Amino acid sequence: MRRAAAVLFLPLALTSLPALADPLPAKADQVVQYRIKVALDPAKVELAGTETLTWRNPSITDTVSELQFHLYLNAFKNTKSTFMSESGGQLRSLQMARDSFGWIDVTSMKTASGADLKPTFAFIQPDDRNVDDQTVAKVVLPEPVPPGGSVTLEITFTSKLPKVFARTGYRNDFFLVGQWFPKLGVYEPAGMRGREAGGWNCHQFHASSEFYADYGAYAVDITVPSSYVVGATGARTAERVNGNGTTTHTFEQADVHDFAWTADPDYVVVKAKFSATQDVTPAEYQRISRLLGRPLDEVKLSDVDITVLLQPEHRPQAQRHVDAAKAGLKWYGLWYGRYPYRTLTVVDPAPGGMGAGGMEYPTFITAGTAWMLNYWPFDRIRMVEEVTVHEFGHQYWYAMVGNNEFEEAWLDEGINTYSTSKAMVAAYGAEKTVIDFLGLSLGDQDMSRTSNDPAARYNRILANAWDYVPRSDYAFYSYYKASLVLQTLEGYLGEQTMARLMRTYQERWRFRHPRSEDFFALVNEITGQDWSWYFDQVVRGTDIVDYDVGLATSDPVLKARGVFDGPGGRASVSAADAMKADLEAAAKKAQTYRSVVVVRRNGGVRLPVEVAFKFEGKPVERQTWDGQDTFKKYVFERPERLEWAEVDPDRKVMLDVDWLNNGRRLTPDRRPATSWAARWYFLVQTLITSLGLL
Ligand SMILES: [Zn+2]
């Protein structure tokens, strides 16, 4: 394990901060263009689609003769798919309906010049060689695509939707249509994300994680029965009544890497507008401008049309959805840069359709609530807000910064969990983000901490999403531990440096595909220090953080006894003399105290920590321990008695698995225990997990 080269604890001096300001990219490099026409047959729960797909070879050196596609609905085709064998048909505590399978058939695939690609069409299994998995296919092109060249394909396909499960499907006449069309993987030229040779990155559909695709423009015609309300990625650009009982809705969006849509005749359509001038005050713009060190016009936001598609029985929660969407647009926008799209659609899945809840797609998210939350006191549980803000946050961490979720899920889920906490605190208050009633409150930032178990020391954050054993550890490492890693980093860097770091990361990687090394390198660049000792331990490593105060004593120094040689000859002090002297000193309050404090490192992770000491009648003193050895002993001889000692007094090290052992008090403390609040943390976390959200 690498030792800390330089112990860095306090926030960096402002003057040492390079004023890094990258321009916020306005547009993505359009690698793909999808023109899709799709018709829904609600009776058969099938989609019939045609797709015109243009792909541009992004390499400047590679000639590419093969294309690779995601065909993710085939994850639900039978129990032998990789998704089904990994998940056992169970996801986020929900069970797949029996005999409700889904699939996608590519019925034809030709080049624009008419060459038939179907004879070369083959399913491949790059991740696990499960020959029964049909979620990735490749085709061989008759003419290779030169560097910078393009190819256009004409594809027809039929998709069968499963009953709502794992984010997609139907429930009665509610349809949430995600992962539904043949979608290209990412061709990564040599050098991209550390690749030695160019090649496709096209993972199979797994039980955990689902996204990695290239940016481009989508235009989709969705034909459904005219009674259906439709919502989708992007802006509605046309609506045509066909005269046969159906209506065609056209949605278009550029600079995105996926497209999803929904249809349900029962939706209540709630329209709202995020106003860049009314929903953010001039003082807030100024504060952010100072925090980020950017001119005011660089932090200005833009207006966004918000559509909430609500279930009728959740009507009383309409404003809560709108307010949460606005909170996301505002705080993510201020911190990480303007939301560049004109629309945001928030979908409230039908009752029984919770498998489609808590999901992110570009400009289109699904939340989820329950009628129970209409009523006091459950209306004070901020679940709607938490889920809406989190899924909105994926517009920044997943949609705009498009990391490879299969290989490095923490870059979207972890950064977004960290960001959700901050946005919830900014919008709803530090202590009351999750619960606020009967004088009881629960803060969002405590949620990640409650899941940080001392026994969680076998997996690591940086791992393929499908490699976690047990599979459930994926969530702890990718969401919660990763969030704690970032919160702890913020403890070390201070709010301002952290804010500038995250802003620059978004700017530099917006509409691109970073990997973990890019994030680590940016931390080094922004701080001017090498932080590999930190990330090696807490992102690549497995061990835990736990500091405690193992011993704290403070006793009077007693008068020495025995025979002493001095300038005036030999003298002896008897036990009785010594006791008398000690009693006199005590009566005059003239004793010296010897205070001993032992701070221990119980976990394998070595981080610098502050230790605070409080002596009677004196202000709190602090020292920094580098945390390298297994313990550090502090000894003081002073006229004052030690009252208490505490490691990490400001709770900067959010990764610490146990804060209850962080301090020892030598004088009695009669502050009431707050254990019942801890019980509430557990209850809310259980509730959110069991509803399958986030
Ligand atoms: Zn998420």
Residue 8 has φ and ψ, to the nearest 5°, of -120, 120
Encode 352-378 in three state secondary structure: CCHHHCCEEECCEEECCCCHHHHCCCH
Of 421 and 378, the structure prediction assigns the larger pLDDT to 421
Alpha carbon of 595 to ligand 1 centroid (Å)? 48
Alpha carbon of 567 to ligand 1 centroid (Å)? 77
Task: Please tell me the distance from the alpha carbon of residue 172 to that of residue 163, in angstroms, as a whole number.
Answer: 9
Confidence at residue 380, expressed as pLDDT on a 0 to 100 scale = 74
Task: Please tell me the distance from the alpha carbon of residue 301 to that of residue 289, in angstroms, as a whole number.
Answer: 12
Question: What are the residues facing 588 on neighbouring strands?
Answer: none
pLDDT digits (tens, 9 = 90+) for 530-574: 999 999 999 999 999 999 999 999 999 999 999 999 999 999 998
C-beta atoms surrounding 670 within 10 Å: 4
Strands 569-573 and 216-225: unpaired
Alpha carbon of 327 to ligand 1 centroid (Å)? 17
Confidence at residue 255, expressed as pLDDT on a 0 to 100 scale = 98
Alpha carbon of 391 to ligand 1 centroid (Å)? 6
Task: Please tell me the distance from the alpha carbon of residue 117 to that of residue 139, in angstroms, as a whole number.
Answer: 6
Confidence at residue 209, expressed as pLDDT on a 0 to 100 scale = 82
Of 598 and 98, the structure prediction assigns the larger pLDDT to 598
Alpha carbon of 417 to ligand 1 centroid (Å)? 7
Contact 381, 434 (CB under 8 A): yes
Confidence at residue 20, expressed as pLDDT on a 0 to 100 scale = 62
Alpha carbon of 91 to ligand 1 centroid (Å)? 14
Task: Please tell me the distance from the alpha carbon of residue 261 to that of residue 325, in angstroms, as a whole number.
Answer: 18
Task: Please tell me the distance from the alpha carbon of residue 528 to that of residue 15, in angstroms, as a whole number.
Answer: 12
Confidence at residue 683, expressed as pLDDT on a 0 to 100 scale = 57
H helix or E strand, kind and range, residue 107: strand 103-111
C-alpha of 646 from chain center: 31
Query: What are the contacts of 665-670 at 24+ separation with CB within 8 A?
Result: 666/552, 666/553, 666/554, 666/641, 666/642, 667/643
Alpha carbon of 72 to ligand 1 centroid (Å)? 19
Alpha carbon of 414 to ligand 1 centroid (Å)? 8
Alpha carbon of 481 to ligand 1 centroid (Å)? 14
Alpha carbon of 103 to ligand 1 centroid (Å)? 25
Alpha carbon of 207 to ligand 1 centroid (Å)? 14
Residue 675 has φ and ψ, to the nearest 5°, of -70, -25
Confidence at residue 434, expressed as pLDDT on a 0 to 100 scale = 60
Between the alpha carbon of residue 51 and those of residues 28, 32, 111, 247, 404, the distances in Å are: 21, 12, 12, 19, 25
Alpha carbon of 363 to ligand 1 centroid (Å)? 14
H helix or E strand, kind and range, residue 594: strand 593-601
Alpha carbon of 201 to ligand 1 centroid (Å)? 22
Confidence at residue 66, expressed as pLDDT on a 0 to 100 scale = 98
Alpha carbon of 310 to ligand 1 centroid (Å)? 21
Alpha carbon of 342 to ligand 1 centroid (Å)? 22
Alpha carbon of 693 to ligand 1 centroid (Å)? 9
Confidence at residue 88, expressed as pLDDT on a 0 to 100 scale = 79
Which of the residue ranges 5-19, 237-251, 517-531, 576-590 would you say has the lowest mean pLDDT?
5-19
Alpha carbon of 294 to ligand 1 centroid (Å)? 29
Alpha carbon of 323 to ligand 1 centroid (Å)? 19
pLDDT digits (tens, 9 = 90+) for 407-466: 999 999 999 999 999 999 899 876 655 665 555 555 566 667 888 888 888 999 999 999
Alpha carbon of 390 to ligand 1 centroid (Å)? 6
* Sheet (strand 631-638) strand order: 547-556, 593-601, 631-638
DSSP reduced 3-state for 14: helix
Residue 258 has pLDDT above 70, yes or no: yes
Of 379 and 30, the structure prediction assigns the larger pLDDT to 30
Alpha carbon of 260 to ligand 1 centroid (Å)? 16
Smallest CA-to-CA distance from 422 within 487, 492, 340 is with: 487
C-beta atoms surrounding 374 within 10 Å: 15
Cite the DSSP H helix spans in 218-376.
282-292, 296-299, 318-336
Q: How confident is the model at residue 115 (pLDDT cuts 50, 70, 90)?
A: very high
Contact 273, 304 (CB under 8 A): yes
Residue 368 has pLDDT above 90, yes or no: no
Alpha carbon of 549 to ligand 1 centroid (Å)? 36
Contact 256, 233 (CB under 8 A): yes
Alpha carbon of 465 to ligand 1 centroid (Å)? 14
Task: Please tell me the distance from the alpha carbon of residue 433 to that of residue 331, in angstroms, as a whole number.
Answer: 15
Contact 29, 55 (CB under 8 A): no
Is the alpha carbon torsion for 368, 374, 380, 381 positive or negative?
negative
Contact 651, 608 (CB under 8 A): no
Q: Say how many CA atoms lie within 13 Å of 494 toward its Cβ.
A: 14
Query: What are the contacts of 554-560 at 24+ separation with CB within 8 A?
Result: 554/593, 554/594, 554/595, 554/596, 554/641, 554/642, 554/666, 555/593, 555/594, 556/582, 556/585, 556/586, 556/591, 556/592, 556/593, 556/594, 557/591, 557/592, 557/593, 557/594, 557/637, 558/582, 559/585
**Which two three-digit tokens encode residue 87?**
């998940």
Rounded to the nearest integer, the mean pLDDT of the chain is: 90
Alpha carbon of 368 to ligand 1 centroid (Å)? 13
> Which DSSP letter does residue 516 get?
H
Between the alpha carbon of residue 17 and those of residues 262, 472, 498, 506, the distances in Å are: 46, 40, 11, 18
pLDDT digits (tens, 9 = 90+) for 586-596: 889 889 999 99
Q: Say how many CA atoms lie within 13 Å of 349 toward its Cβ.
A: 31
Alpha carbon of 404 to ligand 1 centroid (Å)? 14
> Which DSSP letter does residue 466 get?
G
Q: How confident is the model at residue 94 (pLDDT cuts 50, 70, 90)?
A: low
Alpha carbon of 482 to ligand 1 centroid (Å)? 12
Alpha carbon of 498 to ligand 1 centroid (Å)? 21
Confidence at residue 11, expressed as pLDDT on a 0 to 100 scale = 41
| Section 461-479 average pLDDT | 92
Residue 371 has pLDDT above 90, yes or no: no
Alpha carbon of 456 to ligand 1 centroid (Å)? 21
Residue 4 has pLDDT above 50, yes or no: no
Confidence at residue 444, expressed as pLDDT on a 0 to 100 scale = 60
Contact 57, 187 (CB under 8 A): yes
Alpha carbon of 394 to ligand 1 centroid (Å)? 7
Residue 21 has pLDDT above 80, yes or no: no
Smallest CA-to-CA distance from 57 within 187, 241, 223 is with: 187
Alpha carbon of 413 to ligand 1 centroid (Å)? 5
pLDDT digits (tens, 9 = 90+) for 127-186: 999 999 999 999 999 999 999 999 999 999 999 999 887 678 889 899 999 999 999 999
Between the alpha carbon of residue 595 and those of residues 436, 471, 547, 557, 612, the distances in Å are: 42, 48, 20, 10, 13
Residue 693 has pLDDT above 60, yes or no: no
Contact 401, 519 (CB under 8 A): no
Smallest CA-to-CA distance from 513 within 411, 649, 618 is with: 411
Residue 158 has φ and ψ, to the nearest 5°, of -125, 130
pLDDT digits (tens, 9 = 90+) for 49-60: 999 999 999 999
Q: How confident is the model at residue 382 (pLDDT cuts 50, 70, 90)?
A: confident
Alpha carbon of 53 to ligand 1 centroid (Å)? 29
DSSP letter string over 55-67?
EE---SS--EEEE
Strand segments (E) across 608-679:
609-615, 621-625, 631-638, 642-647, 663-665
Residue 13 has pLDDT above 90, yes or no: no
Alpha carbon of 475 to ligand 1 centroid (Å)? 10
Confidence at residue 2, expressed as pLDDT on a 0 to 100 scale = 32
Alpha carbon of 255 to ligand 1 centroid (Å)? 20
Alpha carbon of 399 to ligand 1 centroid (Å)? 11
Contact 179, 168 (CB under 8 A): yes
231, amino acid identity: G
Q: How many residues does the chain have?
A: 694
Task: Please tell me the distance from the alpha carbon of residue 523 to that of residue 485, in angstroms, as a whole number.
Answer: 13
Alpha carbon of 426 to ligand 1 centroid (Å)? 19
Residue 681 has pLDDT above 90, yes or no: no
Q: Sort 589 into a burial class: Cβ within 10 Å, 0-12 / 13-18 / 19+.
A: exposed
Alpha carbon of 442 to ligand 1 centroid (Å)? 20
Confidence at residue 668, expressed as pLDDT on a 0 to 100 scale = 60
